[in-house]
Copies of this chain bind each other. A is one copy, B any other.
């Protein structure tokens, strides 16, 4: 049967609510619209979960989406009226429930949390001890632990979809996986993986506002992490590079990456957000100097993740600001878009493979998750949809 039962982990956040709303409007089993319908049978938050074997009630009323989509509070309130909420101690209780309900092997977990150890443990348990599947936008389980954990999780291609962990709306990860599984050696990767840092570069090269002004505005508009150092230290970009490199077979961890933050380390150690935002005025001059220096050479700056397989077989991994020509594939990248340039044995020289896609955003990530669900379907149906 070309449909699947889904349990959403962390469904009440921004991406979670967007995902739910897209599923309800396009894919849900209750609408009879989709040839490969999705049935959301459970939804978790940090303290408990809603569960209904026949599918959560919320899916039956697409016209109510606007009532709960705009805020977590409204969502929780709406859900309380519709479905029974159960508290739990840990995620593993969900696995027992699936077993008790006779649904073993029929469930896909969609991880939209930013959980770490507990989610790593849960992912491993699902893959190693059950027949359920996982589709994840949470990159932590794949990037902040050892390559061994990565390999354990991703070894069943159909049961672990992780395309949304890097350039969520794109085929970047699945493409690298295809190269790897066809024994096509990756020689080089160059990528801009951060929408936020891409936006900063694009604004800085206009030379209209100072770095601290741009960052302040970006933070106010919600373009940055709650603490902008989590963008500026480059660790998120490095984690994406780690996932890519592991995807094509490398044993690599954070300590193998030559990582330089967007600004000096001394700023990035300030834990207090207000203090941090005050301090970064002192970075303006240095940032401006770097951009001016690039400009004087006819170049511009991008925050680039780079993998290089050297002639002697060694590999280098670098993340940091790099001077590029404005007309080059990374130099011509605009705004917050992401881009990855891949070179392999076959795809090289003038024959590179390049993907450019939006720097995420809840709608893009949510769509990516729906696509990933679809892609893993056996017996996926198609061909007689209506366009309307």
Contact = CB atoms under 8 A, between A and B. Distances in A.
16 contacts: A154-B382, A155-B381, A155-B384, A156-B382, A157-B382, A178-B374, A181-B382, A181-B385, A184-B367, A249-B386, A249-B387, A334-B350, A347-B357, A351-B361, A351-B364, A353-B356
A375 interface: yes
Determine which residue in A185, A250, A355, A380 has the highest number of CB atoms from chain B within 10 A of its CB, and name it.
A355
Contact of A183 (B174, B178, B385): B385
Nearest to A153: B383
Contacts of A26: 182-183
A347 B355 contact: no
Contact of A157 (B157, B353, B381): B381
Interface string A355-375: 111100101100100110011
A308 to B, nearest CB: 15
B374 A181 contact: yes
A76 interface: no
Given A347-B364, A381-B157, A169 B374 contact: no
A268 B24 CA distance: 52
Determine which residue in A27, A155, A156, A367 has the highest number of CB atoms from chain B within 10 A of its CB, and name it.
A367
Contacts of A214: none
A364 B354 CA distance: 14
Nearest to A386: B249
A327 interface: yes
Contacts of A379: 158
Nearest to A356: B354
A336 interface: yes
Interface of A: 26-27, 33-36, 151, 154-158, 169-171, 174-175, 177-178, 180-185, 249-250, 327, 329, 332, 334-337, 346-347, 350-358, 361, 363-364, 367, 370-371, 374-375, 378-387
Copy count, this protein chain: 2
A367 B184 CA distance: 9
A309 to B, nearest CB: 9
A177 B382 CA distance: 9
Given A180-B385, A182-B370, A356-B354, A378 B158 contact: yes
A312 B223 CA distance: 34
A148 to B, nearest CB: 11
Given A158-B379, A336-B350, A347-B364, A151 B181 contact: no
Given A158-B380, A346-B363, A354-B357, 11 more contacts: A35-B181, A154-B382, A157-B382, A171-B171, A181-B374, A185-B387, A329-B356, A337-B350, A347-B364, A351-B361, A354-B354
A374 B151 contact: no
A189 to B, nearest CB: 15
B378 A378 contact: yes
Contact of A347 (B353, B358, B385): B358
